[in-house]
Structure 1
Amino acid sequence: MKRIITLLILLVSVATFSQKTFQGKAVYMSKTTIDMSAFGNEMSEQRKKQIKDRMKNFLEKTFILNFTQSESTYKEDAKLEAPGSRGGFGRFGGFSAGVTYKNTRQGEMIESTEFFGKKFLIKEKIEQPQWELGSETKQIGKYTCYKATMTKVNNDFDWTVFRRRGRNNQKKDSTNTDKKDKVKTTFVTAWYTPQIPVSNGPDDFGGLPGLILEINAGRTTMLCTEIVINPTEKEAIKAPTKGKEVTREEYNKTIKEKTEEMRERFRGRGGRGRGGRGRGN
């Protein structure tokens, strides 16, 4: 009897989500923790706490996914910061995230972002993720979710390359150049619900037979806290068009060159002890 009820729910869901006018909205809370040991043993616990507090606005955010059967936009739910507060990367605060657009039918993803006043459009093909589907379930809100796992290649820029580049580590960096080219992977656990049969999820995640409501990837957790099906006010879902078109590799190269240039400027201003510290996530 339970299986029959579940099947009826799925059939109703499929009928609802196959409508041409269908649109949904999902709100996600994203939280990332920092491995403070990467900053070295020379840094005091008080200083580490100050860094964590200053980066809280950057590491804990709310995002909104607006989606149809084949298209979606994912962007931060921006809130006004308190007067005098400093979020983001602190002195590397020239970074500003925009919108991540996905078209699963065409297999295309476009990420708009801004770095030190220059806008970029990072265009990529959506590759089919190699998910391993499990039978384990758990309840998230009113939705029954199933577990899926995979190991994902991490192509994002690695900010940790700027953490330990003081005078005491210059020699170590020069002798460990092979590590810079090492492919980095992240183990990902997803919880998706077939009750919302949309192959999508937060950020660049998707490719499952249902909307992803929770992601655990490395030190980052993204949890869906609200879902609205066919909201009264529907937001237009369009691909971003403003910015210079680049590949992920070209964008990462630009960030690296600009950040190294900034660090050299700080050193040139006499910022001894400060110029060698970068921000990580």
Structure 2
Amino acid sequence: MRNTILIVVLLGSYGLSAQLKGKITYRLEIIKDSIEQPFENKENTDAQNEVFALMHESQPVEGYLIFNDSIAIYNVEPKIDIPGWNNGSDGLIITPSNVNLSWMMAGGSTTYYNDWSRDYSITQNAIMAPAKRVIQKPKEWTITEESKVIDGYTCYAATIDKRNDKKVKAWFTPEIPVKHGPRGFNGLPGLIMEIEDVINLWTIVEMDFDNPEADEIIEPIEGELITQEEYVKFSGNPFGDN
């Protein structure tokens, strides 16, 4: 079965001869049904209850992937009221002032850029001035035997291991043979159509293959270029998420 999937993926990559380009709108929402209610567990700390409250108060947001065959750039819809950040001696401190947790999970103010013609992938993070451009390591996907149809496209599941034995599951379609996806999730032999990331769900809400924004994708050049390890040291983020 695994060989059959790989053959279909390879055939799909030749299905479209014209250059692929356009704009994909993704919707990110936190799935609240399985999340504990704040103050439901008397053993939780105030900080834990605050996080649960933020999850339940979160609202869906949209992110935008502008792409061509090899290059893509991704940003989340603008947000004026963003949380405060303090990179103090005790590490990164977030001031949760009117925080929409979905906006942060979707990528926040970070820009995600990749160019597969030169195996180059970065994030540009300007939350803590000065801006930094962080080199991203390739994703280590495992393509599974699962398949389903999303918006008329045959999709296959691929997974990445996370901390605490969790997995990210992405559904990609070789019928749109580009290696792009939202928030730095990329590298599969087909456009990522959906992502299940523990409590976060990404879905495509619009596909515009004629969008003129794809005619000129500008690479972010502002900020020092550093590795992920250097970014973790700079930000005080123990998880290294960008």
Kindly state the Cα deviation for residue 129 of structure 1 after the two structures are TM-superposed: 2.3
Aligned to 1:29: 27
Q: 1:195 to 1:132 in 2, by over 3 A?
A: closer
Task: For structure 2, list consecutive stretches of 5 or more residues without a partner in the other structure.
Answer: 1-7, 85-93, 98-103
Q: 1:103 to 1:38 in 2, by over 3 A?
A: farther
Aligned to 1:150: 160
Aligned to 1:73: 73
* 1:124 alignment partner AA: Q
Structure (1 or 2) with the larger CA radius of gyration:
1
Question: Separation in 1 of the partners of 2:70 and 2:48?
Answer: 48
1:209 equivalent to 2:189? Answer yes
What's the RMSD between the two structures over aligned residues? 3.8
Contact 2:27/2:204, CA 8 A, preserved across alignment: yes
Q: 1:48 to 1:189 in 2, by over 3 A?
A: closer
Alignment of 1:213-224 (within 5 A): 213-224=193-204
Kindly state the Cα deviation for residue 133 of structure 1 after the two structures are TM-superposed: 3.0
1:43 equivalent to 2:54? Answer no
CA deviations over 1:193-251 (Å, ceiling 9, x no partner): 12211122112222222111011122322111111113245352122111122221222
Contact 1:123/1:247, CA 8 A, preserved across alignment: yes
Aligned to 2:206: 226
Seq. identity, %: 26
Kindly state the Cα deviation for residue 74 of structure 1 after the two structures are TM-superposed: 0.8
1:120 equivalent to 2:100? Answer no
Contact 1:101/1:109, CA 8 A, preserved across alignment: yes
CA deviations over 1:71-109 (Å, ceiling 9, x no partner): 1001112255xxxxx55466267x962311011221111
Contact 1:25/1:66, CA 8 A, preserved across alignment: yes
Q: TM-score, normalised by structure 1?
A: 0.61
Q: 1:52 to 1:25 in 2, by over 3 A?
A: same
CA deviations over 1:106-145 (Å, ceiling 9, x no partner): 11111111133321111234x25232231x3322223222
Q: 1:190 to 1:197 in 2, by over 3 A?
A: same
Kindly state the Cα deviation for residue 10 of structure 1 after the two structures are TM-superposed: 5.0
Aligned to 1:107: 119
Question: Separation in 2 of the partners of 1:15 and 1:226?
Answer: 22
Q: TM-score, normalised by structure 2?
A: 0.69
Contact 1:110/1:239, CA 8 A, preserved across alignment: no
Task: For structure 1, list consecutive stretches of 5 or more residues without a partner in the other structure.
Answer: 1-5, 81-85, 155-183, 260-281
